[in-house]
Structure 1
Amino acid sequence: MTNNTKNPPIDRIDGRMKVTGGAKYFADFELPNTAYCVIVGSEIAKGSIASLDTKKAQGAPGVLGVFTHQNMPPIPGWDAPVGGEADGPAPKPKTEETYRILSSPKILFDGQPIAIVVADTYERATYAASLVKARYTKQAARTDLQKHVSDGIAPRGADGGNYLRGTADGYKNAPVTLEANYTIPVEVHNPMELHGILAHWTGTDTLMIYAKTQGVNATQNAMAQAFKLDPSTIHVHTEFMGGGFGMGLRTWPQETAVVAIARKIGRPLKLVINRSQMFTLVGHRPYTVQTINMGADQDGKLIGIAHAATAETASYEDFTEATVNMTKFMYACPNVSTRYRIVRLDRSVPIWMRGPGEATGAFALESAMDEMAHKLNLDPIEFRLRNYSETDPERNRPYSSKNLKEAYQRGADAIGWKERKNQPGSTRDGDWLIGYGMSTGVFSAFRWEASARAFLQADGSLTIQSAVTDIGPGTGTALTMIAHNVLGVPMNRIKIEYGDTSLPKAPTQGGSAIVSAVGSAVFDACTSIKHELMELALKAGAPLAGRQADELTLADGVLSVSTDPKKKVSVSDLMQVNKLTVIDKTKDSKGSPEQEKYSMYSFSVHFVQVRVNPLTGVVRVAKAVSVADSGRIVSPKTAASQMIGGVAGGIGMALTEEAIIDHRFGRFVNNNLADYHVAVHADVPAIEAIMIDKPDPIINPMGAKGMGEIALIGFAGAVANAVFNATGQRVRDLPITPDKVMQKRM
């Protein structure tokens, strides 16, 4: 990491706890008399259950029940129309199909739960689940998007999936044109921690839940809808998560089923799904095909772009994402049209995955930009600079902040871009071809509503409380830094309590918005404490009476006069004199109407150097530099960790990750970590993360914008562009495997 940030880097506040086993994840919680359940999945992709034999399973040792569509306990809120709040925090459009877990013999996707076996131990439940036997009436299943692209339909919404600026075919009038198709396969989240839930009815209508969720308040609300309860009677706890990546952004049907069965059996019930079920029960990045048509003049000015994307969804639920959104505003172009369509397949429903939509769209757009630069014989950075958008051309607004030109320069210097040759295949190092590539990433910068509580004790210690879940990016560390910067309390005297619905409400951790949202609430609560301390110190008869608030400095538990440091009073003495044991503030925080005047985005630029073996087609990322333009960097070390993690995920996206389906059966054939290849240590080089670290003056009081998504968005395009620069072979279908590189002899 290049540490040019204004804040000093600090270690994660929970780092030691995590590496020593002190951090408790949902499955680590044990309650007295806990039962365990195992899901039995369908072995067909479409049809119905003709018969289901559970007798042997029910008679197996320790089995407490086998639940199927014939005896599943009722879920009161599911009487509402499909797609209501019982399914998750956001309504989903209804399709012609209906999916309610264990509600009918109908099969809508491979791996769909057909039974949940409950026993007194996990091992007994697993064994009993193997005894459940089903016969099916099969129907022909549609699982191949490529065969059904023409069946795409417009998603529901005001624009019907279409956007137009200027004329739709403006690119056709350009002297230099490009048409290219790009494919993103199914990618699966596959964090280390498996998904699941531990549910315990503590009373007739009171519920305790430990879950793998990215938002405890969202899970609380979803369960309240499902069981028609007051949300205040449901307590959800998720302090730590072993990787979310988007899979924890909704409450999945099997979680609700476990809660219903726990009520039925009258004891706590735990579900931890297995690795193969991670491919079918908790979403994935949808298979997407895209076409880019682009036109430019001989001087490298864009004349038109048309971007069309078609993505899979389930037969029973319409899932959409922002695949084409980046194209609408990223570059100054007078004629831009986008079209987005979805195809309903007999597959489980996708879900947002890190860099949701934008990561998919950026691969196509940024690959096309590189291809057009090559046609024009322009340096790819120069081509982007000639089409730089100083203001948002989609909304006709200024950006709240944008330092992308500086990011281009900083990244180019760090990667050694001057060594890049514009002619592909020009650089060798022994047996290896060397190539350089770059790509831009962008993601909306949000500030959602959030609450936080801060209370300062007379001994100088500070506690911060928020319901937000830390899914891994170091949220607690960032909140500690914000509180320290406001109140000057030493960081080892600050305690963070989070991940529980008993604490002030917080949004779900997703969309790179938590530091902006919850951080602002923490900032406001701590600022309120600071103002009260200053009022106490400045009132008549107080130690600093006669001074003005703007003259005071608060640091290390001491209020002092900036121009006369000898004039000071300790916070402890100040509180003791005023007979205060604690100063307690809770603040709700949200953005101002002023933000509506601006377009707010975080930006990134990714640079890579690759080495390609011309005899085998093997691609190695030899060096990576990622530059983040995401406002003020609150916590430099965890911010760098975000960028590094995004690059690791981006390498997987570019070179290895692909969930493969045998369309004869509609089943994944590599639904395990031996055959589904994520990037490992040998695939990931040393990564340099550079922070522009300039505060955004509009978004929040810290000036901080999110960076979790931009860490990955665009990176796959940078790798593809580097491979082309090394070999002259343009790979448009991810992942970039040796067979694709070797399609043409180098």
Structure 2
Amino acid sequence: MADVMNIQRHVRLGSNAGQSMTRRDGLLKVTGQAPYAADNRPAGMLHAVTATAGIARGRVAHLDTGAAMAHPGVVKVYTPANRPPLAVHPDTKIHGFAWRTEALQDDTVRYAGQPIAVVVAETLEAATEGARLLNPRYEAEAPRIGLDGNNPYSPETVSIGRPPSLEAGDMDAARAGAARHLETVVETAAQYHNALEPHAIVAQWFGDRLEIDTPNQAIGLAKQSFATYLGIEPSQILIRSPFLGGGFGSKAILFGAQLLAVIVAKDLDRPVKLALRRDQMFGPVGHRPATRQTLRLDLDEHGHIAALDHHTLAVASSFDDFIESASNASHSVYATAAMRTTHSAVRTDTGTPGPMRAPGEAPGSAALEVAVDEAAYALGMDPLAFRLRNYAETDPSTGMAFSSKALRECYAQAADLFGWNDRPLEPRTMRQGRLLKGWGMGTAQFPCPMFQAAAHATLRADGSAVVETSAADMGQGAWTALAQIAADGLGIDVDRLEFRSGHSDLPDAGVAGGSGHTATAGTALFNAGADTVRQLADLATNDPASPLFGSGNAGVTARGGRLYRNDDDSRSEAYEDILARAGLDLVRGEGKGAREGDAQRAMFSHGGVFAEVLVDPDLGQIRVSRLVGAFAAGRIVNPQLARSQLLGGMIWGVGFALHEEAIHDARTGRFTNNDLAGYHIPVNADIPMIEALTVHEDDPFVNTLGIKGVGELGVTGTVGAIANAVWHATGVRPRRFPIHPETLI
């Protein structure tokens, strides 16, 4: 084991990781050659369209299947009366990342937009018209929508299996001794995934073997899920997911329409494609639920947070339990002697919520940053000075040391670039022409999870290599960054590397989510390369004909496709020469990626975000005129891609703060804005100036490569920074997201 680690230690210093390399898949995408799931058109393919519920609660009393079947081109209509059987009930939760789903198990309607039938036809147009002709009739009940009007309940878990509450320190004593008590209530609206690529699936059976093309963030889990529902072995299933047009969490979980497409294809013995329309993305595939968060901050006479109490009331579905873990965002940001975080939920007639970029952390940090800003002003302190006074040197929720924390440096660099020192303390004192100007800040923080992953690395006789793992690239550039890591593990230039990924017959790369994919899959790839180099070193150092003979495995270093003797750099040998003398065409290594043992340190990425807004005092219209963020996230594998991810997260924060809001008709439970005309997201004109800096940070504990995540980090500080800038401009404290102009007038 010591020899292997020595190889890793040296190869880690390779020249690929750390470089701003262009995306390896960029040319395919800009020329239209990148294959997405819905692009697949096998011979004889049929089109499936789901008919969706027009009520939010009740049952389907009648479907005019005869009218649908009479339409030219319609092949078959599936309802609960004739749906092919599944091996297990769709409400079965087969693992922690599985949702109860709708697959025509009965005539119950649980939310508006739920699939209630599937029409299969020779053309998409015929299937669409057949679905329209079903003309459903319902026995409707009054819908339960929103945070009010339903009795809250206490969930057993929040997010995916996390405890619903935490208490550290003596809350009663801390509050009793506090000099000032503040309470802040913040609401966040429901938000829905609107990836550029809607969900789609093409399913084709070859006897008892199933092939699926679908965008997926967790191919291994999806394969397990399909196998369980269908009652077949995972080895009988091949899932291809070469490219994803965005995922944000929604493409990590199997949903009912996917199951229906698969069993329909089996029943008809023909390939079937099903692609959701934009409006069908609202409901069946997860979303970020609405929350109402109450934060109580108790401050001592010196401006320290003595106690922090964060409660979240979140919307849940009527039939499943995914609770947005917003209160957990307060666990590890600010120092406090006592802390309590709790959650409750209300059952509503909506689709089940699910992970959405920075789940829990995004709404939770938004509320926390508003409360902290309010506390700073109550004490007459600069918001940055208040945060520095309450800087957490150790994790307040666990008492553990941080694996690394360069948050002070993030604050300093972002504040300096922004010009924060010129900020007046009082609100409504800055103008740009007739517009009110405000400056605000927020702290960004996101945990650093690792999942389970595996990889193979094969070194060929000519010194080139191929690496394999089923990683998911949602547009973040994962295949480029992972290839850079893999090349360093092998000690070769990335141009000599073939990267194979995106289908389930390859080693399982785990979940592309939680900002942990690069660390997890990257570690597996690096270890596979290191295992290959170890075998190569054994060949060379045990061969009397090699200039490295007698060096021992630990006595050599790999770089540039050669092994070098550590104590004599002039003695080296090319990989291809070692293989040729050994009479081998290849050497293959295997690697795993996972966090070993229980975490003994608190592991987070950090950042500071500073925002400037301009507000029209007459109309209440808000424009974000400047955003500056600085972030520390361990070893940055590809600075160009990391910056792109951070900018994307900050732009997402603009959407959270000012734009995104799903609206239901309270009478029917139906959406009133389930399209991109009514559901607003930021466009280029909303982002005039934005900058993201990365701060150097070495983390020897988070994993062997020192890699943290950046995909969701930028969201967390930005929402609060914008809200606090709006308050500074107007003197009106935002209490609800998105911030509506009418609340400022």
- On whether the aligned pair clears a TM of 0.5, the verdict is yes
2:77 aligns with: 66
- 1:174 is matched by which residue type in structure 2? A
1:574 aligns with: 578
Mean Cα deviation higher: 564-573 or 319-328: 564-573
Structure-1 separation of matches of 2:690 and 2:498? 32
1:50 aligns with: 61
* Post-superposition offset of 1:566: 4.2
2:10 aligns with: none
- List per-residue Cα deviations over 1:181-223 (Å, max 9, x = no partner): 10110111101101121111111x2111111221111110111
- List per-residue Cα deviations over 1:227-283 (Å, max 9, x = no partner): 111111111111110000111121001111111111111111110011111111211
Which secondary structure state, in structure 2, belongs to the residue aligned with residue 714 of structure 1? Answer: helix
Give unpaired runs (5+ residues) of structure 1.
Answer: 93-97
Structure-2 separation of matches of 1:295 and 1:122? 60
Structure-2 separation of matches of 1:701 and 1:401? 14
Residue correspondence of structure 1 range 157-236 to structure 2 within 5 A: 161-169=164-172, 170-171=174-175, 173-203=177-207, 205-236=208-239
2:11 aligns with: none
1:681 aligns with: 684
- List per-residue Cα deviations over 1:546-604 (Å, max 9, x = no partner): 556666443332334567554332222222122221111122232222x5221212222
- Structure 1 residue 90 and structure 2 residue 93: aligned? no
Mean Cα deviation higher: 506-515 or 582-591: 582-591
- 1:23 is matched by which residue type in structure 2? A
Count of residue correspondences: 726
- 1:84 is matched by which residue type in structure 2? K
- 1:70 is matched by which residue type in structure 2? A
Could you state the TM-score of these two structures normalised by the residue count of structure 2? 0.94
The one of 103, 106, 116 equivalent to 1:104 is 106
- Structure 1 residue 483 and structure 2 residue 490: aligned? no
- Structure 1 residue 335 and structure 2 residue 344: aligned? no
Give unpaired runs (5+ residues) of structure 2.
Answer: 1-15
2:591 aligns with: 587
* Post-superposition offset of 1:160: 6.9
Mean Cα deviation higher: 299-308 or 477-486: 477-486
* Post-superposition offset of 1:685: 2.8
Mean Cα deviation higher: 603-612 or 362-371: 603-612
Residue correspondence of structure 1 range 514-593 to structure 2 within 5 A: 514-539=517-542, 540-547=544-551, 552-561=556-565, 565-593=569-597
Structure-1 separation of matches of 2:76 and 2:432? 64
1:610 aligns with: 613
- List per-residue Cα deviations over 1:620-639 (Å, max 9, x = no partner): 21221222221111111111
Rate the CA distance shift 1:569–1:154 in 2: closer, same or farther, 3 A.
closer
- Structure 1 residue 114 and structure 2 residue 121: aligned? no
* Post-superposition offset of 1:606: 1.6
Which secondary structure state, in structure 2, belongs to the residue aligned with residue 455 of structure 1? Answer: strand
Rate the CA distance shift 1:407–1:55 in 2: closer, same or farther, 3 A.
same
* Post-superposition offset of 1:100: 4.2
Structure-2 separation of matches of 1:136 and 1:306? 45
Residue correspondence of structure 1 range 270-669 to structure 2 within 5 A: 270-539=273-542, 540-547=544-551, 552-561=556-565, 565-593=569-597, 595-669=598-672
Aligned-residue sequence identity (percent) comes to 37
State whether residues 171 and 306 of structure 1, in contact with CA within 8 Å, keep that contact through their aligned partners in structure 2. no
Structure-2 separation of matches of 1:585 and 1:276? 46
- List per-residue Cα deviations over 1:90-116 (Å, max 9, x = no partner): 356xxxxx8643122221111111111
State whether residues 155 and 342 of structure 1, in contact with CA within 8 Å, keep that contact through their aligned partners in structure 2. no
Structure-2 separation of matches of 1:590 and 1:180? 39
1:33 aligns with: 44
- Structure 1 residue 151 and structure 2 residue 162: aligned? no
Structure-1 separation of matches of 2:101 and 2:706? 44
Rate the CA distance shift 1:508–1:13 in 2: closer, same or farther, 3 A.
same
Structure-1 separation of matches of 2:559 and 2:301? 59
State whether residues 529 and 591 of structure 2, in contact with CA within 8 Å, keep that contact through their aligned partners in structure 1. no
Rate the CA distance shift 1:89–1:210 in 2: closer, same or farther, 3 A.
farther
1:242 aligns with: 245
- 2:18 is matched by which residue type in structure 1? N
- 1:49 is matched by which residue type in structure 2? V
State whether residues 52 and 134 of structure 1, in contact with CA within 8 Å, keep that contact through their aligned partners in structure 2. yes
State whether residues 237 and 501 of structure 1, in contact with CA within 8 Å, keep that contact through their aligned partners in structure 2. yes
- 1:696 is matched by which residue type in structure 2? D
- 2:33 is matched by which residue type in structure 1? G
Structure-2 separation of matches of 1:562 and 1:102? 65
Mean Cα deviation higher: 221-230 or 571-580: 571-580
Mean Cα deviation higher: 537-546 or 694-703: 537-546
Structure-2 separation of matches of 1:400 and 1:282? 35
- 2:585 is matched by which residue type in structure 1? T
* Post-superposition offset of 1:154: 3.2
Which secondary structure state, in structure 2, belongs to the residue aligned with residue 146 of structure 1? Answer: coil
- Structure 1 residue 7 and structure 2 residue 18: aligned? yes
* Post-superposition offset of 1:156: 4.4
State whether residues 456 and 584 of structure 1, in contact with CA within 8 Å, keep that contact through their aligned partners in structure 2. yes
Structure-1 separation of matches of 2:510 and 2:444? 24
* Post-superposition offset of 1:405: 1.2
- 1:189 is matched by which residue type in structure 2? H
State whether residues 242 and 501 of structure 2, in contact with CA within 8 Å, keep that contact through their aligned partners in structure 1. yes
- List per-residue Cα deviations over 1:168-187 (Å, max 9, x = no partner): 45446422221111011011
State whether residues 296 and 303 of structure 1, in contact with CA within 8 Å, keep that contact through their aligned partners in structure 2. yes
**What RMSD over aligned residues (CA atoms) do the two structures have, in Å?**
2.0
- 1:154 is matched by which residue type in structure 2? P
State whether residues 532 and 590 of structure 2, in contact with CA within 8 Å, keep that contact through their aligned partners in structure 1. no
- 1:242 is matched by which residue type in structure 2? G
Which secondary structure state, in structure 2, belongs to the residue aligned with residue 324 of structure 1? Answer: helix
State whether residues 288 and 354 of structure 2, in contact with CA within 8 Å, keep that contact through their aligned partners in structure 1. yes
State whether residues 89 and 218 of structure 1, in contact with CA within 8 Å, keep that contact through their aligned partners in structure 2. no
Structure-1 separation of matches of 2:564 and 2:314? 60
State whether residues 49 and 274 of structure 2, in contact with CA within 8 Å, keep that contact through their aligned partners in structure 1. yes
2:128 aligns with: 126
Mean Cα deviation higher: 461-470 or 545-554: 545-554
Structure-2 separation of matches of 1:378 and 1:562? 56
State whether residues 526 and 591 of structure 2, in contact with CA within 8 Å, keep that contact through their aligned partners in structure 1. no
Which secondary structure state, in structure 2, belongs to the residue aligned with residue 675 of structure 1? Answer: coil
Which secondary structure state, in structure 1, belongs to the residue aligned with residue 696 of structure 2? Answer: coil
Residue correspondence of structure 1 range 11-22 to structure 2 within 5 A: 11-22=22-33
Structure-2 separation of matches of 1:564 and 1:100? 66
Structure-1 separation of matches of 2:163 and 2:463? 56
Structure-1 separation of matches of 2:226 and 2:738? 38
Structure-2 separation of matches of 1:484 and 1:33? 42
State whether residues 443 and 603 of structure 1, in contact with CA within 8 Å, keep that contact through their aligned partners in structure 2. yes
